[in-house]
Chain A
Amino acid sequence: MLHATNGWGKIISSVDGTRPTTAFGASVVPLTNSTLGLYTTLLAGASVTDDVYGIEININNVGQTTVARDCLATLAFDPAGGTTFTDFVDLLCGSASQYAGLTGGGSGGGARFWFPLWIKAGTTIGMRGSVSTVDVTAFNAFVKLYCKPSRPELIWCGQKIEQLGVVVASSTGTSVTAGTTSEGTWTSIGTTTRNHRFYEFGFGLADTASSSNGYHVDISIGDASNKHPIILDAYAGTTTAEMATKTMCPTWAESKSGDIVYARTQVGPSSTDSTTIAIYAMGD
């Protein structure tokens, strides 16, 4: 019980002051099941005026009505401030909803992620995408960067992500069958190869006729007989317009190389949709 906490002295947003709209943020044109898409700059190096200790990523406007559209949005960096990017992580965001003015009503918000990632000042932040459909209509994305911590000694930041459950060849994650009246079955998403201190997850929808549903996502670490939950009832949602939303779920949790990471979901009030999960683990 140490009575001190960190605050952020500066937040840099790639969309600050821009009126929210359906397709919000920079336009990213994907390829079909390919990791070779063209990069879009989300935030130029000149705008990254300070060292970064945390990054929020939003991906929206992936989903298309009556289309099963899975997607991996690849976050990339150029530390030199140019546009020669190196891929960092493939974020699962299949059928991520429109941002605002969601088809069918309500606010979508898309797929949101948060990572305690250290990025040096001047780094250009980019993204490219891969979708499961032949249609390569662009999706949208933006980032926010958290800088100037008041208590840097209280922050842990990683610089590597191990992605588990991502299937690059089909732009998807690992299928997890949701439970309905009870929890679904634990599904192994992958085995870690490094020690980790932080976890996030991705949620993908690829369904030609999804329902208006809420999903509770549980993540655990352990082995076949012992599972230590690190995320419980994290929310993701689906709509009757084949769109998905996912809240940020930054989770500090320690794990050891060789631990197995599991996921299970529970859906309601309607029957389950075709959904997948990916897990992102950060270590030193």
Chain B
Amino acid sequence: MASITLTQNSATIGTTEFFLASNSTTATYQTADVILQVYLDLGAMAAGDEYLIKIYEKVDGTNPEVIYTATKVGAQAEMWVSPAFILGVGWEVSVDKIAGTDRSIPWTLAKIG
């Protein structure tokens, strides 16, 4: 029976792409079969900041490809929530700063699998 796993952490993220599932600037692509939804607290962002969010999956079975991107600019009024994705070949979620100040960003990866 599938269960829900909530992985929570936070990191100060700058211009080096940070991988949330790996909790590292080095990606370890995840192979667990999941339905994934990503929650980010971007409340520390301010005017002049820009962050890029990416979700990767190894669609061809070998190479990680970006399957979803979102850009957040300026002060944020609310939490950011991704759509749900069905993943399992080799997936990751990343955040990196495009402009502005490095910010501490808490996150939750909500996984059903």
Contacts and interface: CB of A to CB of B under 8 A. Distances in A.
A195 B48 contact: no
B75 interface: yes
Contacts of A225: 47-48
A225 B100 CA distance: 12
Given A222-B47, A222-B48, A2 B83 contact: yes
Contacts of A259: 47, 74-75
B74 A195 contact: no
A177 B67 CA distance: 44
Main secondary structure of the interface of B (DSSP, over half): loop
**Could you say which of A1, A223, A228 has the most chain B C-beta atoms within 10 Å of its C-beta?**
A228
B48 A255 contact: no
B77 A195 contact: yes
Sorting the interface of chain A by its residue count into under 10, 10 to 19, 20 to 34 or 35 or more gives 10 to 19
A256 B74 contact: yes
Interface string A216-257: 000001110111100000000000000000000000001111
Nearest to B100: A226
A2 B77 CA distance: 23
Q: What 4 A-B pairs have minimum CB-CB distances, sorted nearest first?
A: A226-B48, A195-B77, A226-B47, A256-B77
A252 B25 CA distance: 32
Given A1-B67, A1-B68, A2-B83, A257 B48 contact: no
Contacts of A258: 75
A228 B74 contact: yes
Interface in B51-81: 67-69, 73-78
Contacts of B47: 221-223, 225-228, 259
Given A222-B47, A222-B48, A1 B69 contact: yes
A254 B68 CA distance: 19
Nearest to A224: B47
A228 B73 contact: yes
A1 B67 CA distance: 7
Nearest to A254: B77
B86 to A, nearest CB: 13
A1 B57 CA distance: 14
Given A228-B47, A255-B74, 13 more contacts: A221-B74, A222-B47, A225-B47, A225-B48, A226-B47, A226-B48, A228-B74, A255-B77, A256-B74, A256-B75, A256-B77, A258-B75, A259-B47
Nearest to B69: A1
B55 to A, nearest CB: 10
Nearest to B72: A254
Contact of B74 (A1, A2, A222): A222
B80 to A, nearest CB: 10
Contacts of A222: 47-48, 74
Contact of B78 (A195, A221, A226): A195
B53 to A, nearest CB: 13
Contacts of B68: 1
